[in-house]
Amino acid sequence: MGDMLSVKDLKVTFLNNRKEALHGITFSMAEGERLGLVGESGSGKTVTAMAISGLIERSNVEVTGDVIFEDTDLHRCSRSKLRSIQGPGIGVIFQEPMNSMNPLIKVGHQVEEVLRLHTDLVPEVRKKMAIDALDRVGLPNPEEIYNKYPHQLSGGQRQRAMIASAMIIHPKLLICDEPTTALDVSVQAKILKLLRELSDEYKMGILLISHDLMVVKQLCENVAVMYKGNIVEQGKTLDIFNAPKDEYTRQLMAAIPTRRRHE
């Protein structure tokens, strides 16, 4: 079987200052694979996620290289083709849902949105699927959550609602950009467990963007380490944890508190 996602020599240059954010990165993902993209702030992780998902603003950047998702080159296809892939093919969860959820629209309607855009389902069916999705991600009283506004939910509840909206159509690839950074440890563990279960159940690939190696270790079997716009090391997560080869990876490992490293 071929790769679900193949990224080859991806370069991203911001046109306003001619700064190259990615210097030609290459990696691939098989169907159902969970890959962690890890590195400190400014390493290029989020730019990579935006470039792959098609959410990067094309007028402000120059993108070269190939991003092939299931035989479609996402940087050379039409806007309409790209939109048809966003949602059913590639879903995205952001770090802080308050910045990506519309404060004026009820949570349930936002969870349904991908169904409105990509299916012909009637409103009653969409609503039932949205409530089921909110229930599936462990939100209490999902019928009530459906009718609430984002500001009426806690941070952990909003993050779960974001997962529900991304998962409702069962994408082939879910890109998670620091999905647990703003959450306390117990909620973080529950969300990582949920992502793992959903990935297993639907054979859904996950590209996890994180600065936290321990979060990556909990969810991903493979990892790619980024530093200043390059991938400096990639392989099996446990191999890299046990025997990191690159000096930067060793520094990341050394920064993990000892108690957590041996969990």
Q: Where are the domains of the chain?
A: 100-170
| Count of C-beta atoms within a 10 Å radius of residue 115 | 22
- Closest by Cα among 38, 31, 77 to 54: 77
- The residue assigned the tokens 């479609």 is 72
Q: Which pLDDT score, from 0 to 100, does residue 99 have?
A: 67
Per-residue tokens: 132: 């089921």
Q: Give the whole-angstrom CA distance, residue 150 versus residue 135.
A: 16
Q: Are strands 19-29 and 34-38 parallel, antiparallel or unpaired?
A: unpaired
- pLDDT score of 69: 95
**Which strand (E) or helix (H) includes residue 141?**
none
* Interior angle at CA 247, CA 242 and CA 253, nearest 5: 45
- Please choose, from the candidates 54, 52, 90, the residue with its C-alpha nearest in 3D space to the C-alpha of residue 174: 90
- 72 vs 68: CA distance, rounded Å: 5
Q: How many C-beta neighbours within 10 Å does residue 49 have?
A: 21
Distance of alpha carbon 250 from alpha carbon 262, whole angstroms: 16
How many angstroms separate the CA atoms of 10 and 23, rounded?
Answer: 7
Q: Which residues of the chain have pLDDT under 70?
A: 1-2, 96-99, 258-263
Phi, psi of 35 (to 5 degrees): -115, 130
0.85 cut: is pTM over it?
Answer: yes
Three-state SS string over 212-252 comes to CHHHHHHHCCEEEEEECCEEEEEEEHHHHHHCCCCHHHHHH
User: What was the pLDDT predicted at 259?
Assistant: 41
DSSP character at residue 15: T
